[in-house]
Amino acid sequence: MRKFLPSFKLLSGLLNVYGLVFLTFLYMPLGLIVLYSFNANPINMAVWTGFTFDWYATIFGGAAVETTFDAAFTESPERIFEVVKNSFLVAFTAASIATIVGTATAIAIARYNFITKRFYQALLLLPMLIPDIVLGISLLIFFVGIGFELGLMTIIVGHVTFLSSYVFVVVSARLAGMDTTLEQASADLGAGPVTTFRRVTLPQIMPGVVGGFLLAFIISLDDVVITYFIAGVGSQTLPLFILAMMRRGIRPQITALAVLILLFSFVVATVGLLLRNRKP
């Protein structure tokens, strides 16, 4: 038995090295974005020339920075605030509607049996599996076909179509670990379906509902491909704004915006995962 111990230690060491290399490869690009968002070089962001907060200052309305790229950022900060407002409006509205639809669907699937249940479950997961570009083109054809003007409303409707699936998965996982005897006891004690749902079911699945909402919110906030196809004039979101800026080259302000989005997404995603995994 002892002769196998060195091989086990060697295997464990190799796994640790592999894990370290994998994590480094995964998170190094994000670390570089954070680092170079403070680079003072206004021309070539890949060449470090010093430390500065100027790019964040231009985003939040500070003094303009004299660079050769001033014309590329003439719309800040008013334009940035406008696209941020659009992004949050779309994300909050779409996530709220998707949470209601996904939660109701998850409860119906978990509590009722019908012939096409398996097929319906697979159908609900389909928006998560379809490539974004295919879904975006399909939504564009649909809205144009029915004569619906492209704008914030079409973005919200489009996001709800696939965000409901994410909420459905999160809430279904919560329902799978729920004790149904409490609902039965509530019914035996004379409580109606609405009272049972409000006083028994909803409190137990609330962490999953909130987690699903936060997950849907952050996915909607970061979506680019689908939003690109169904956004109309005057309904630009922050990811589309950054994409338009990058067509003229990677400016230092873009890295600063990317860091802010990354930080906000990390906070929201962490809260959502904690709530989803919270025990009843």
Which residue's entry shows tokens 């070539």? 44
Q: Does 73 fall in a domain?
A: no
The predicted structure's pLDDT at residue 7? 65
Q: Domain check: are 42 and 179 in the same one?
A: no
Whether 226 shows a pLDDT value over 80: the answer reads yes
Domain containing residue 25: 2-67
pLDDT tens string 110-162: 877 778 788 888 888 888 888 889 999 999 999 999 988 888 899 999 999 99
Domain boundary among 17, 42, 67: 67
pLDDT of residue 115: 80
Answer whether residue 99 is part of any domain: yes
Domain boundary among 67, 96, 116: 67
Taking only the tens place, the pLDDT of each residue in 200-222 is: 777 888 888 888 898 899 899 88
Q: What's the whole-number average pLDDT of the chain?
A: 80
The answer as to whether 54 is a domain residue is: yes
On whether both 148 and 259 belong to a single domain, the answer is yes
Distance CA 246, CA 257 (A): 12
Question: Within this chain, do residues 50 and 103 fall inside the same structural domain, yes or no?
Answer: no
Show the 3-state SS of the chain.
CHHHHHHHHHHHHHHHHHHHHHHHHHHHHHHHHHHHCCECCCCCCCCCCCECCHHHHHHCCCCCCCCCCHHHHCCCCHHHHHHHHHHHHHHHHHHHHHHHHHHHHHHHHHHCCCCCHHHHHHHHHHHHHCCHHHHHHHHHHHHHHCCCCCCHHHHHHHHHHHHHHHHHHHHHHHHHCCCCHHHHHHHHCCCCHHHHHHHHHHHHHHHHHHHHHHHHHHHHHHCCHHHHHHCCCCCCCHHHHHHHHHCCCCCHHHHHHHHHHHHHHHHHHHHHHHHHCCCC
- Asked whether residue 34 carries a pLDDT value surpassing 80, the answer given is yes
Decide if 177 is inside a domain. yes
User: What's the CA gap between 265 and 94, in Å, rounded?
Assistant: 16
**Pair 127, 252 in one domain:** yes
- Judgement on whether residues 56 and 142 belong to the same structural domain of the protein: no
Domain end marker among 38, 67, 96: 67
The alpha carbon torsion through 241, 245, 250, 254 (nearest 10 deg) reads -40
Q: Residues 15, 85: one domain?
A: no
Tell me what pLDDT residue 69 has. 46
CATH of the domain at 263: 1.10.3720.10
The band of 8, judged by pLDDT with boundaries at 50, 70 and 90, is low
Percent of the chain whose predicted confidence (pLDDT) is above 70: 85
Residues 21 and 90 in one domain: no
| CA atoms of 253 and 171, how far apart (whole Å) | 38
- Whether 19 and 52 share a structural domain: yes
pLDDT of residue 76: 55
The pLDDT value given to residue 102: 92
pTM of the complete model: 0.79
Which pLDDT score is estimated for 275?
Answer: 64
Residues 97 and 172 reside in one and the same domain: yes
19 and 92 in a single domain? The answer is no
Q: Domain for residue 72, yes or no?
A: no
At 59-76, the pLDDT tens digits run: 776 544 444 444 444 455
Examine the pLDDT at 83 and tell me if it is beyond 90.
Answer: no
pLDDT, position 67: 47
| pLDDT digits 0-9 by tens, 239-269 | 888 888 777 666 777 788 888 888 888 887 7
Share of the chain above pLDDT 90, in %: 18
- How many folded domains does the chain comprise? 2
Shared-domain flag, residues 85 and 117? yes
| 91 and 113 fall within a common domain | yes
Determine the average pLDDT of the residues in 266-276.
73
